[in-house]
Chain A
Amino acid sequence: MNGAADLGGMMGFGPVLPEPEGEYFHADWERRALALTLAAGANGRWNIDASRHARESLPPAQYLTSSYYAIWTAALERLLVAAGLVGADELAQRRVLRPGAPVRRVLAAADVPAVLAAGSPYDRPVDAPARFGVGDRVRTRVMHPRGHTRLPRYARGKVGVVTRVHGAHVLPDTNAHGAGEHPQWLYSVRFPARELWGEDAEPDQTVSIDAWEGYLDPVDAPEQDPGA
């Protein structure tokens, strides 16, 4: 979706404010918001893409005026309510009104190190060979899906070159909506900055994105004149 989270190329947010290494949290509630998000995720009722979509689909005014862990908290509340684990009335009244629903797993303290160190890989075997190889020219699709996507607006309809083939990965566009993993080949695609931003960009600067195969079309035919 074209949400407020898709920030690449926007202006007016002011300078970047560097921070010393080792400063991770600015208030204790941020620590708890991070930990709650990871622990509730381990219940197995939603996946990483659904979680991102819950954040990125917050109303733009809310997204842009919330600190990062406040965004995480709002998204976690949404996910819990949507999964039927917590009632909106319980959030509003800040107390439990009915017993918990069954969940697949409750993350035990003793299991945390092993679970975090294991992670969860997103590559999947697929039968189809990769459509593109390193060096191929591709054009990203022009698309404005109502649901989740990982193709940023600034990189839609642009011509670039494949620089890496990562294997087939879970497709966030479907996975975010519980519509299946539908793994697709994933590529790094490099664009000249001028292709993205025009003549003001430095001539040899580049920007790369990771793009699933369905985001890409081959560039091998002369451009068609749509009026011809």
Chain B
Amino acid sequence: MADDGDIAVRVEALESILVEKGYVDPAALDVIVETYEHEVGPRNGAKVVARAWVDPEYRERLLTDATAAIAELGFTGRAGEHMVALENTADEHHMVVCTLCSCYPWTVLGLPPTWYKSPAYRSRAVLDPRAVLAEFGVTLPPSTRISVHDSTSEVRYLVVPLRPPGTDGWTEKELAGLVTRDSMIGTGLARLP
């Protein structure tokens, strides 16, 4: 990117200014990075999806009040205060974008990947979602309707992908292993067993 040559120095200087002025605690910065690099991530969302696949009552709660259903599993907080779950079916495939910035359900997916924040994705996900899906290697039957959700408010969307065939009798934990980050954004499908 054009401006990044000097940015590392700039950010370092900014940090030392903010610390010296007493606005930020450097130890808090470390905890923030640790939290979003190693603790809060798409494995949270995978647990939500796997639970919905095996527990019809949980699935119902998730589709009715996703914020509360996700909180049942202990996932609450920043960029997840108002959650909606979108369930894929054979007829309808949901796909989430934030054309204006990078709104993303941090509590269940963690920080967004670079492509989710990129102009390439943000510009075309609403205009030509089938072509964007192809760039992820996803080809849906022409009869599957694509519903794109532009995340323009503080409401955050989690896609519940289709449960792969051949997983009858699988445990929740085994199923969670099939749930990819992209399948919960709608740019991928759950892995086949």
Contacts and interface: CB of A to CB of B under 8 A. Distances in A.
Interface of A: 5-11, 13-19, 21-29, 31-36, 38-40, 43, 48, 52, 55-56, 62, 64-70, 73, 76-77, 80, 85-86, 90-91, 94-96, 99-101, 103, 106-109, 111-113, 116-123, 150-152, 154-155, 164, 166, 169-170, 172, 186, 188, 190, 193, 196-197, 202, 204-212
A190 B17 CA distance: 46
Contact of A27 (B8, B129, B137): B8
A13 B184 CA distance: 24
Contacts of B120: 13-17
28 contacts: A5-B100, A7-B123, A13-B118, A16-B115, A18-B182, A29-B11, A31-B37, A39-B23, A43-B24, A66-B4, A68-B114, A68-B118, A70-B7, A94-B9, A94-B10, A95-B17, A108-B28, A122-B82, A150-B100, A152-B99, A155-B150, A166-B155, A169-B153, A205-B130, A205-B145, A210-B155, A211-B152, A212-B153
Interface stretch (B48-56, B73-81, B158-166, B168-176): B73-81
B60 interface: no
B20 A107 contact: no
B89 interface: no
Contacts of A112: 28, 31-32, 35
A41 B16 CA distance: 16
B85 to A, nearest CB: 12
A205 B115 CA distance: 23
Contacts of B123: 7-11, 13
Given A13-B118, A36-B18, 6 more contacts: A27-B4, A91-B14, A117-B76, A120-B78, A169-B82, A207-B148
B12 A29 contact: yes
Interface in B165-193: 180-182, 187
B161 to A, nearest CB: 14
A67 B101 contact: no
Contacts of B61: none
Contacts of A19: 113-115
A91 B17 contact: yes
B126 interface: yes
A104 to B, nearest CB: 11
A120 B14 CA distance: 26
A94 B9 CA distance: 9
A150 B152 contact: yes
Contacts of A117: 76-78
A103 to B, nearest CB: 6
B121 interface: yes
A70 B29 contact: no
